[in-house]
Structure 1
Amino acid sequence: MIRGIRGATTVNENDETIILQATDELVHEMIRQNDIRPEDVVQVIITVTEDLTATFPAKVLRTIEGWMHVPVMCMLEIPVPNSLKRCIRIMMTVQTNEKQEHIHHVYLGESVKLRPDLTKID
């Protein structure tokens, strides 16, 4: 079965180090909460809001052991007026036997506002 795992986080400024640290924290939390192995990942799509231009957040995945061959793509989030600023979103598509209701979507920082109904504190 293929499932999507959502994640998002926010940063305080458009800085390469800060963006990469926030992305690293988010990806590792998604991995931890869902027991993800790189060989089970079909693809990872990362979007950023238009105010984040300092780096490609996908660079983080290349530093995680075993993730070198996971297909990753960065894109620009649709710039909807009054939407959450300085936000990094991830859609990780994985092969899993977990039921949809057992998938743990991860929202950190101000991104908990996006889907408070999916936010779980472990």
Structure 2
Amino acid sequence: MAVRAVRGAVQLEQDEAGHMADQVKQLLTAILDRNGLTADDLISIWFTATPDLHSDFPAVAARELGIVDVPLICAQELDIAGAMPRVVRILAHIESDRSKADLSHVYLGAAASLRKDIAQ
């Protein structure tokens, strides 16, 4: 098994805790499903949120999905002029036999425009 990293992002329609939880759960589930992963394959997850998101911690959604024994951390993205607003990003460190090229990075909705080169 190798240590790999898989990325993803989603743009929220509004800064509301329930909406954030739903969108982050959808993103995290898609990352796991598209890469054939389970919670046991997760080493750690970094969540970042743009500075305009204040309603909750994105990591709450992972805990609500039952990911309870994986280290999680939340951080704030840089406040760059012109950057896409209301975005939550995920960087998950995983154990996998897949090559880096075989990993599916997941960018949902409008967030797909952030990384057209790797979004699937």
* TM-score of the pair, normalised by structure 2: 0.96
Gaps of 5+ in 1: none
- The residue number in structure 1 matching 2:13 is 12
By how many angstroms is 1:110 displaced? 1.2
- 2:5 maps to amino acid: G
* Equivalent in the alignment of 2:46: 45
Once the two structures are TM-superposed, the CA of residue 60 in structure 1 deviates from its matched residue by 1.0
Amino acid at match of 1:10: Q
1:114 aligns with 2:88: no
- For 1:96 and 1:82, the matched residues in 2 are separated by 36
Counterpart AA for 1:39: D
Alignment partners' CA distance in 2, 1:20 and 1:38: 18
Q: Deviations over 1:10-34 (max 9, x none)?
A: 0111111111110010000001001
Equivalent in the alignment of 1:33: 34
Aligned residues: 119
Q: Distance in 2 between matches of 1:48 and 1:108?
A: 15
Please list every run of 5 or more consecutive structure 2 residues that lacks an aligned counterpart in the other structure.
Answer: none
Report the CA distance between 1:74 and its aligned residue.
0.7
